[in-house]
Structure 1
Amino acid sequence: MQFDELQIIAPILKALKEKNYTEPTSIQEKAIPLILQRNDILGSAQTGTGKTAAFAIPIIQQIEEMSSQNERRPKIKSLIVTPTRELAIQIDENITKYAKYTRVRNTVIFGGVKQHQQVAELKRGVDILVATPGRLLDLIGQGYINLDSIKIFVLDEADRMLDMGFINDIKKLLELLPKKRQSLFFSATMPRTIVDLSRKILRNPRKVEVSPASSTAETIQQYLYYTNKSEKRNLLRHILSEKNIQHALLFVRTKHGADRIARDLKKHKINSAAIHGDKAQNHRQKVLSQFKNGQIKVLVATDIAARGIDIDKLKYVINFDIPDVAETYVHRIGRSGRAGEEGIAISMCEPEENSYVREIEKLTKQKLGVIKDNPFPQTDKPMTFQERKEFNKEKQLRKQEFFANRKKSRQR
């Protein structure tokens, strides 16, 4: 199957050809014809399946075909709502590429930056608006955005939207949208809460399902190092040097952990940066840009910050911490091995994470390749139930003391 067999108009095909896109991915092949036929869509697709193009291409085509030559200041015809700034920016960049030879105008709005420039773009008129929920509702409230002309509504990464606490914002938004519209709903996972939400949004949807979250891309090789918690940083530096890794996305569990590891790598002359929710938006965009063009060797990220990071030909994903939810592991490593490219996922497991590895192997029905030639092997034993209970109690006390002392110092 080729893109030119999907009834896509010539201007979009020209833009795709420029990007050397000739064959659609599975979700693109399934979704594009259904969206062009004006069906509502319930899409279940994990990261790295080509989902953005699957909805962006038919939206651009529909708007190009309905646009009037005389429309100097277009009204918003399609609204795409997504949970994170990074993902919003990524989607907008892709739309710009695919719409290059059409008359379709698009822009993106998100919080964490001043609104002046975003408002100026909106005043000029756009056909497609990509937005995060908070900034969208804010600008609607200020009277800068009117949703009356919306023909196509997209809710992307719905599961992450709920995880991040945006459910009330989404409910408010649904009240403002025209009842007569086409709706496209995408989520990597489909728990009951997501299915219930989709029923409020969609009418007689066609279901498009690709690579359920239990499967990992066949192009990704998966390796595992068993080690001790105290040796993880040493092991990380060993892996980076031994394998001569020039470009890697490194996942950690916490924001503080991300900062600590980035500092440690820099101390050892390894160019790195951390990206997470506490970082300013302009810093995050700058770091992401530097990583994409190769200035930064290791990008250290938390799961939420990494949602929406889309880097062509990223070969290495490293799990500094094994995630306690097996599906998260699948999402993480799906950043590499995209669109048929080779990917390598390397995970570092301390004793307390051994059970998480078993859960991952159970979910994916694959054994991770354990590296025997390991200078920092695992020698510690996992804590017993009682030891873990005592450890967590002690940790909670230290945390309370830390915040109490910080509060006192601020009051002085």
Structure 2
Amino acid sequence: MGKKAKSKPIIEEETTTESGFSQFDLDERILKAIGELGWEKPTQVQESLIPLALEGKNILARARTGSGKTAAFLLPIIQNVVQISSSNEEEAGPYAIFIAPTKELASQIFKLLIQLTSPFPFLQCINFAEMDESNVETMLGEVVDMIVSTPGRIVNAVATKPSLLNNVRHVVLDEADLLLSFGYKDEMEKIKEALPKTYQSIFTSATLNENMDDIKAMLMTGPVVSLKLKEGQLPGSDQLTQYHINCQSDEERFTILLSLIKLKLIVGKTIVFVSSTDRCYKLSLFLQAFKIQSCILNSQMPANYRCHIVREFNEGRHQFIIASDMNDIAPKESEAAAATAEDEPPAKKKKKQKKPKKGKRKMDKESGVARGIDFHFVSNVINFDFPTSTDIYIHRVGRTARGFNKGTAISFAIPTEMPLVENVHEEINEMMGEDKILPYNIRMKDFEGFQLRAREALTACTKTVIREARLGEIKQEILRSKQLEAYFSKNPREKAALENDKKLFKVNLHSTSIADVPDYIVPKPLRGQDYSVKTNSSVNRNRKRKMSAGQKKKKQKSMDPLQSFKF
């Protein structure tokens, strides 16, 4: 394993961000790429980390989520790789590797890396995490300068090409504390064996502990500078507003969320976190019954489709995304979360969880939602099921109020989740120095009309309907599969059968107008506003086109004397 890395005293940085990126003496082409991204000034973590990284220091950096950590380590390493590749013709790359615990995070790092290296056509960057095994083997024959990957993919690549990491000068671990908690210890040891004796290490995360002896001893060589910024792990109350809502039952939780959305008290792009994959589909079907469209993100989806959903959400095609990620929760904690989620006695849940169901879809080990992923311009984060630890709370809530933007976090909790609530509140208050999570008082009497409708919709969202929804998603995955394109081209009937296969079970409601919001169910202080459901503008435009085309044809017919003549 080598000698244990020595840590220097923690450097507590408190810097101003008035000067621009030119202060770092970066290459003019890098500054041009920064300008095209619209970055006007560096964030606090960037001002602190970039100079240390340019000096070649080993860095262990903790900064809150959304503070610009990715750019903080990319910029100095791109600068160094540009200098190495232009002056060194004997050694072949890669010169830098960026390791992330999840495929989504690797994809995000790679996207920003491509944007920042766009002025350097001679630099070759690849992302192993989003490639098939066959494509990885093909790329190993190419000259590569920088690699982004998850641990498993890079270990497989090293097994195929043992000399792959011989000339690496920079190793970056993003969300470093997750790499061990996700069970990547064996992979990290194999990566260490393939690396040269000396290289620069940069480890970043929002929840790095000061005692990181295991990870430092595993991958760091030489002295380590621990960088801890003088800022909370969450933004201040002027940027992030945090609320907590007590619910007496799971039905109340669904009712309150429905009411907040329908009464337009929740506005803007929103991420809703739930405790399990089935809860994703149940909540999505529930909202769909009230004509509230949402998309789903969970670890049982294929990696490409998960990245596609994140991309569509960032582009503004969806307002609500319902996310569950069991990789963000330890196995024991996930069982506890599932037990509290349905508001049932723990004894019943334990009986159900004794034997795993046959044919259950496997969860992707290299998936992640709550941590690291940069969802763009998220106005609200809703913890529909309360998180099982403070770290998970911090990373979920950290999806909003990123950079210099503002955001709101709302956490629901039923009585069985109150021990978790008290623990998180205590730790957050101690961390931030004051009470940051405010009570959001709800009078259920004001929402009686919504509660009756929510009860009807929940009754209709049976396990059979949820299973049918998941089956429909599998069918769509099959139809979208590139590997099956050749098969479907030879067997068009089977493709047609899948496309025309109708759902046997769906959410059956007694009233078709359940999605309407009549004035009598609206609380008195909020009456008088328009709560009608807006239809898709593109659909309306298509209807107008069809109507105008029909009117035009009718007009032409009326003007033709041979067709309009009457006896």
TM-score (normalizing by structure 2): 0.62
Counterparts of residues 74-85 of structure 1 (less than 5 Å)? 75-85=93-103
Tell me the residue number matched to 1:269.
291
Alignment-derived partner of residue 408 in structure 1: none
1:369 aligns with: 438
- Using a 3 Å threshold, how does the CA distance of structure 1 residues 171 and 322 change in structure 2: closer, same or farther? same
Pick aligned residue for 1:289 from 303, 307, 311:
311
Determine helix, strand or coil for the equivalent of 2:408.
strand
Instruction: Please say which of residues 233-242 and 320-329 is displaced more in the overlay.
Output: 233-242
Cα distance change, pair 9–31 in 1 and its aligned pair in 2 (3 A): same
Contact 1:110-1:135 within 8 A present in 2 as well: yes
The answer to whether 1:232 aligns with 2:296 is no
TM-superposed CA distance for 1:217, in Å, is 4.2
**1:260-296 CA-partner distances (Å, limit 9, x unpaired):** 2223223332221221211111221221122111222
Aligned to 1:346: 410
Cα distance, 1:100 vs structure 2: 1.6
CA contact (8 A) 1:249 1:316 kept: yes
CA distance in 1, matches of 2:384, 2:135: 38
Shift of 1:241: 2.4
Is 1:225–1:374's contact at 8 Å kept on the other side of the alignment? no
**Structure 2 residue corresponding to 1:45, chosen from 43, 49, 63:** 63
SS in 2 for 1:43: strand
Tell me which amino acid in the other structure corresponds to 2:197: K
| Counterpart selection for 1:104 from 105, 123, 146 | 123
1:144 Cα deviation after fit: 8.1
Kindly indicate whether the alpha-carbon contact (under 8 Å) linking 2:171 and 2:202 is maintained by their aligned counterparts in 1: yes
CA, structure 1 residues 97+211, in 2 after alignment: closer, same or farther (shift >3 Å)?
farther
Structure 2 CA distance for aligned equivalents of residues 98 and 273 of structure 1:
30
Instruction: Say if 1:214 and 1:80 are closer, same or farther in 2 by CA, change over 3 A.
Output: closer
Amino acid at match of 2:292: I
Contact 1:253 1:302 in 2 (8 A): yes
1:387: which partner in 2?
none
1:61: Cα distance to partner?
0.4
Q: Are residues 192 and 59 of structure 1, via their aligned partners in 2, closer, same or farther at CA, if it must alter by over 3 Å?
A: closer
* Alpha-carbon displacement from aligned partner over 1:377-400 (angstroms, at most 9, x marks no partner): 99xxxxxxxxxxxxxxxxxxxxxx
Helix, strand or coil: the match of 2:212?
helix
1:156 is aligned with what amino acid? D
Query: Which of 262, 270, 273 is matched with 1:248 structurally?
Result: 270
Helix, strand or coil at the partner of 1:311: coil
Counterpart secondary structure, 1:68: helix
The answer as to 2:52 corresponding to 1:31 is no
Report the Cα distance in structure 2 between the residues aligned to 1:2 and 1:289, rounded to whole angstroms.
29
- Structure 2 match to 1:332: 396
Compared with structure 1, are the counterparts of its residues 3 and 221 closer, same or farther at alpha carbon in structure 2 (3 Å cutoff)? same
**Corresponding pairs, count:** 377
Residue correspondence of structure 1 range 1-40 to structure 2 within 5 A: 1-40=19-58
Q: Contact 1:83–1:157 at 8 Å: present in 2 too?
A: yes
User: Compared with structure 1, are the counterparts of its residues 74 and 297 closer, same or farther at alpha carbon in structure 2 (3 Å cutoff)?
Assistant: farther
Q: 2-side partners of 1:217 and 1:198: how far apart?
A: 31
Q: Deviations over 1:77-101 (max 9, x none)?
A: 1011110000000000011111121
1:314-345 Cα shifts (integer Å, max 9, x gaps):
11111101112122211111111111111111
Give the Cα separation in 2 of the matches to 1:214 and 1:192.
Answer: 14
In the alignment, what sits opposite 1:407? Answer: none
Contact 2:140 2:161 in 1 (8 A): no
**For the pair shown, which has the larger CA radius of gyration, 1 or 2?**
2
Aligned alpha-carbon RMSD (Å): 2.5
Q: Residue 322 of structure 2: which of 293, 300, 307 is its match?
A: 300
Check conservation: 1:250, 1:298, Cα contact below 8 A.
Answer: yes
What SS is found at the alignment partner of 1:110?
helix
1:88-123 CA-partner distances (Å, limit 9, x unpaired)? 000000111111212432111127x62233444443
Contact 1:214–1:364 (CA under 8 A) maintained in structure 2: no
Residue 543 (structure 2) aligns with: none
Instruction: Sort the Cα spacing of 1:214 and 1:23 in 2 relative to 1 into closer, same or farther, 3 A.
Output: closer
- Over 3 Å counting, the alpha-carbon distance change for 1:376 and 1:231 in structure 2 is farther
Which residue of structure 1 aligns with residue 279 of structure 2?
A: 257
Change (3 A) 1:74 1:217: farther
Once the two structures are TM-superposed, the CA of residue 31 in structure 1 deviates from its matched residue by 0.6
Q: What's the offset of the Cα at 1:215?
A: 4.0
Secondary structure, in 3 states, of the residue corresponding to 1:88?
helix
Rounded to whole Å, the distance in 2 between the matches of 1:38 and 1:4 is 19
**Cα 1:232–1:71, aligned 2, differ >3 Å: closer, same or farther?**
farther
- AA partner of residue 257 (structure 2): L
Amino acid at match of 2:240: I
Q: Which letter does structure 1 place at the counterpart of 2:227?
A: V
Distance 1:35 1:321, change over 3 A: same
AA in 2 matched with 1:298: F
Q: Tell me which amino acid in the other structure corresponds to 2:262.
A: S
**Contact 2:270–2:380 under 8 Å retained in 1:** yes
Q: Secondary structure at the match of 2:295?
A: strand
- Do the aligned residues in 2 keep the contact of 1:152 with 1:182 (CA within 8 Å)? yes
- Kindly provide the amino acid, as one letter, of the partner of residue 372 in structure 1: N
| Aligned position for 1:221 | 241
Q: Does 1:319 align with 2:319?
A: no
In structure 2, the CA distance between the partners of 1:336 and 1:364, relative to structure 1 (3 Å rule), is same
- Deviation of 1:21 after TM superposition, in Å, equals 0.7
Distance of aligned partners of 1:343 and 1:244 in 2 relative to their CA distance in 1, 3 Å threshold = closer
Moved more, 301-310 or 332-341: 301-310
Give yes or no for contact 2:235–2:401 (8 Å, CA) kept in 1: no
The separation in 2 between residues aligned to 1:296 and 1:91, in whole angstroms, is 23
Contact 2:295 2:309 in 1 (8 A): yes
Over 3 Å counting, the alpha-carbon distance change for 1:217 and 1:174 in structure 2 is: farther
Q: Percent sequence identity over matched residues?
A: 29
Query: Contact 2:163 / 2:194 at 8 angstroms: preserved in 1?
Result: no
